[in-house]
């Protein structure tokens, strides 16, 4: 069994590739002063970069898990950015929930699984 670990440290890997599957860790924004739309854009850019490093892309998403600090306040803004980012016909299986995130300034965290291109 061959595993490729991307951006690994002793605690976690940003992505792990096994066979034709790419598993991304939950991605959070670096600029935590942004609103939900800005944080979502930043997180999706990180996802694009990690998927490319693993030999995949957003067109190959299989599953997405999205956590929002405040689903009532931030769902619409996050979802608008998500829909614009996602190619037509490429919607993954998805769950979106409200959760207490690792930092109070983080409004959005997204984790995806994709097939390799």
- The reported pLDDT for the residue numbered 117 is 80
Domain containing 99: what range? 3-115
Q: What is the pTM of this model?
A: 0.96
- The reported pLDDT for the residue numbered 1 is 72
- CATH code, 88: 3.30.1330.40
Count structural domains, the chain: 1
pLDDT > 90 in the chain, percent: 97
| 35-90 per-position pLDDT tens digit | 999 999 999 999 999 999 999 999 999 999 999 999 999 999 999 999 999 999 99
How does residue 91 score in pLDDT terms, banded at 50, 70 and 90?
A: very high
Q: For the range 37-45, what are the long-range contacts, defined as Cβ-Cβ under 8 Å and sequence gap of 24 or more?
A: 37/77, 37/78, 37/80, 37/81, 39/106, 39/107, 39/108, 40/77, 40/78, 40/81, 40/82, 40/108, 40/110, 41/81, 41/85, 43/108, 43/109, 43/110, 44/81, 44/82, 44/85, 44/110
């Amino acid at each position: 069994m061959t595993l490729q670990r991307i951006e690994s440290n002793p605690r976690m890997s940003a992505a792990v590739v096994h066979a034709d599957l790419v598993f991304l860790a939950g991605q959070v924004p670096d600029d935590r002063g942004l609103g939900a739309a800005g944080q979502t854009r930043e997180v999706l850019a990180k996802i694009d970069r990690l998927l490319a490093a693993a030999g995949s892309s957003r067109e190959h998403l299989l599953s997405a898990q999205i956590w929002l600090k405040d689903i009532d306040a931030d769902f619409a803004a996050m979802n608008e950015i998500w829909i614009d980012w996602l190619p037509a016909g490429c919607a993954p299986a998805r769950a979106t929930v409200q959760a207490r995130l690792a930092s109070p300034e983080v409004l959005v965290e997204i984790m995806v699984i994709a097939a390799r291109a």
